[in-house]
Amino acid sequence: MTENFSHEDQMEQARKRVQAKLGFLKHFLIYIVVIAFLAVVNNLTYGGYQWWPWPALGWGIGVVANFLSAWVFVGGGRLEETLMRQEMDRMDRTDRR
């Protein structure tokens, strides 16, 4: 039972991590396409004031944060696993009573 849970949990966690990484790549591609589009619109309508760097900057920070959550700060999954194990133990103890 415990092994089953652990395996499913690991599967679920791996699935989430891969989804997060693929999600980041989608996010990145959308970011590049939209910013390129804004830069083209900016320069086609009038080439004076370049306003497209503002969304590129703000959104870029969001993309970096997305990368960090998908690759670097993945400890949340372990915490979730630990808490779930504790919760399962508590439920087992309650059932035994």
Partner 1 sequence: MKLGSLNLIGVLALLLTLALIGGALFLILNDRGSYGIPGAFSQDLLDEGRELFEPGVTGLELYTVAGPITVESWDRPETQVIWEKRGSEAARDRIKIDIRRNGSRLTVREEWPAGSVNVQGWVVLKVMVPAGTEELRATSISGAVKVLGDSASLSGINQELKTTSGALSTDGAKELTASSVSGAIRFRAYGEKVEAETVSGSIQGSVLGEEDGEIRLSSVSGSVTLGLYEAWGGQVSLRSVSGSLHSALPLILESQERNRLTGRLNQGKGTASLKTTSGAIRLEKGAR
The residues of the shown chain that bind partner 1, judged by CB under 8 A, are: 18, 21-22, 24-25, 28, 31-32, 35, 44-50, 52-54, 56-57, 60-61, 63-64, 67, 70-71
Smallest separation, CB 39 to partner 1 (Å): 10
Identify which of 5, 11, 18 has the alpha carbon closest to the alpha carbon of residue 74: 18
Nearer to partner 1 by Cβ, of 60 and 80: the residue is 60
Cα 24–Cα 26–Cα 29 angle in degrees, nearest 5: 110
23 or 85: whose CB is closer to partner 1?
A: 23
Q: Choose between 27 and 85: whose C-beta lies nearer to partner 1.
A: 27
Least CB distance from residue 1 to partner 1, whole Å?
29
How would you label 16-47 residue by residue, b for 16+ Cβ within 10 Å and e otherwise? beeebeeebeebeeebeeebeebbeebeeeee
